[in-house]
Structures are given as structure tokens and as C-alpha cells.
Chains A and B, each alone.
Chain A
């Protein structure tokens, strides 16, 4: 890594620490009551409380987020490929998908719970539904965006459809796949939590509702931080994969 990269990392870390310090100071100097906003330390201390079953809830939510997200990546990319493969399928189904995309996916959650009963699987489905569209639409766009002249170059050599797909379209679409995946990370976290909010018996979202009743704000804040942590890990993994697989110049922000 270059000195510039280190600098960036150092600055980012410093800003994060400053943010936590600001929170801490604000609570203390503002004399904020604990049930409104605890200090970071108080929130952190709730991790030591065995009754809270942190590991159990954390694992449940992480499963929902990662499960739904990975499923959306696999199915979304696969669908996009089908569409690119068949112009007819694309013409027939793309408009429908654009319409379906307009459905507020969060509002589908209660229906899913009616259909599938509540549970981790249902929340995976909810997360999947939210993440699916941006990944599909971005990937489809990437697969479509091929230089016509480049196609000519390959076709002049009797290149097969598969060669065009595997050598030009797919690697060319990769930056777009990642762009969709990055958008979907935020949605994945929201999707899982919404599912847990509506009906559930586990997970950090559910846990927040329970602790809210007892006005255990410190535990709620801790749960929120853990959800965020899952999101950050997810986003970080996507960025890492992008760095590995996409050449710097081709990355889409």
C-alpha cells in the first residue's frame, strides 16, 4: 500500500474516533439522561449482560442479511444474464420488472410473513426482495453496454455468442455488478431489520423492540451498533472483492 492509502486510512480512523468522542462528550456535557442516549461505554457494557443473548441475536440477523444478500446477488446476476441472452425475454419481462421494482419492498414484508410465517427464512426472503432489483438492473445495464464496434471486431472473426459473452460482456459488466451490489448492502441491512420489526422471535431488530419496552436504551444503542457492524463488514467485503476483481480504471462509483 502506498503512503497515500495509509494516510486515507489514518484520516478515516481518526474521524470515526472523533465521532465517538463527540457523542461521549455531548452526553456528559449535555447531561443527557441514560434512557435518552447512553454514553458509548454504557452501551458497550451491555455486552456483558448474559440475559441479552447477544450472540444468538447477532447470528440471526447476520444470517438474514448475508443470506438474503448473497441470494440476491446470485439470482439477480443470473436473471440479468438470461435477459441479455434472449432479446425476447428482455422485451417481455423487463417492463414488468421495472413496475415490480416500484413496489415498496418494505410494504411486502407483512405479506411475506403471512405467506411464509415469521422466521429467519422469511427475513431472508424479505432481504432478498429488496436487494434483488438494484443488482439485476445494474447488471443488465452493464451487460447491455457493449461497444458495437467491439462486437463487430469479434463477429468479423466468427466469434461465438459465448465468446462475446464470456470475453467481453461479462467482464465488462462486472463493474456494474459491483455498483449494484454496493447499493444493495444498505438495503440488505434495512430489509432484515424491517422483517424482524414486523414479526419475529429473534434478531437484533426484534431485540431492539423488546429492550425498548423496558426502556433499556443502552442495549438498544448497542444493538444498533451491532447491526451497523454487520453492514460495514458486508460493505467492506464487497469493496474488497471489487478491488480484487475489477481493474481500477473500470470501477463504477
Chain B
């Protein structure tokens, strides 16, 4: 059940560049939240009426906390970054479908690009079996230690070569050619498409977390449409990233 609540900011800190790390107390949302889901965060500003979709970076059920990790790109995220401990934010969540995680252990490859990295952290806490995580960023990597703590094997890739592998995450994935049962990915659409193509070539299914402009966030406005052709259907349909997604099977997306 979705909840529309006022949540208190418990901790907020600057991470690197224009990226912020924020913990909010939202036990009603944390209780039912799954990796890959997100919340709409309301700005409370009269001129910025639409809520902002931000993924759960971590869901700490025992403490009722949700961790968000976000980049400042405009009015709304700027406003969130200026929140202080004790301030309250309106949240609607949990929203979307989240990642599909099999009960049995499997070999997983997890590929995150830029600000698509945070939602994969909660995912990695739930994956059983061997997990290879590829974190791709332009410059400084983020959340590396957090990912290591989940027990995953972490591969850092930077475009400027400041640390780790010098190049794109997907290039390293291809070079290492690690066998896997499932791929999980979140990042810019262009990266997801390359991941999807690679996955098809290797005959591995991939779950990709997609992004689109949203208004309602709950599936009523049809603002966030994505072209999806499900297995067995003879044509594509407009599905909703906010409700039917944000996670889709790579071989069902019309790229």
C-alpha cells in the first residue's frame, strides 16, 4: 500500500561533486519497500508542483529509515540538498515494481552508471550467490565501500581514469566476460541499451531500470510511457515507467 506522509530528515550530507546522501525516517514506507522501487518527493514549492522520483538507495526496515542518494540537477533536487536534519519532506511511496530477485542463488552481474548506481545498492544486499558489480562514473566513483559491504565483487570504472578501470563499465564487463544467470542495470538510457544488446548477445536476460518524465508517479496520467512488447504479444503497448516499471526486461523494451 502506498503512503503519502511527512518524513523527517534524519541525516543529510554532501557526498561528492553535486551528489547528496540523505536518510529520512519513513517506517510506513520502509516496511513494504523493495529494491528498485522509488518514492516521489514533493518540493513544497508553489512553482515546482510536480513531485520528484528518487529511488531507494537503502531500505533499513529495522530503523524505519530510507536512504536516498541524489544529484542536484534543478530546482527540486537543489531544494532537497538544502534540507537540514529535522526538516520534513512529503513522500509518496513505495512506487513501482522493483527488481525481480529469485530465491535461489544465482550468478549476477550488476551494472550501474552515474546516478543510476544508488538503487543497485539495496538490490545487492538481497542477491544470493556470486555478484559482480560494475560501477561506472565519469569521475570519482560513489558508494564503493557500501557495495563491498554487501559481499559483492566490486569493479570500479571511471571515464577519466582517476581510479579503477579507465573506460566504460560495459567495456570491462565485456573484457572480463564473466558468466552470469542474470544482469541488473540502472543508468542512462544509452548505457542501458548497450547493456541490453550485450545481454542479448550473451543470451542472458537483463532487468533494466528505466527513467522517464513523470507527473503523477502512480499510473494515472500516462506521462511516463514506454514502448513494451511482452513475450507472445504481436504488437507493442504504452506501459508506464512509474507503475509497470521502472524495472523492465531488456528483451521487452522497444529501444
The finding on whether chains A and B are genuine partners in a shared complex, rather than unrelated, reads: no
Interfacial residues, chain A to chain B (CB-CB below 8 A): none
Measured CB to CB, the residues of B under 8 A from A are none
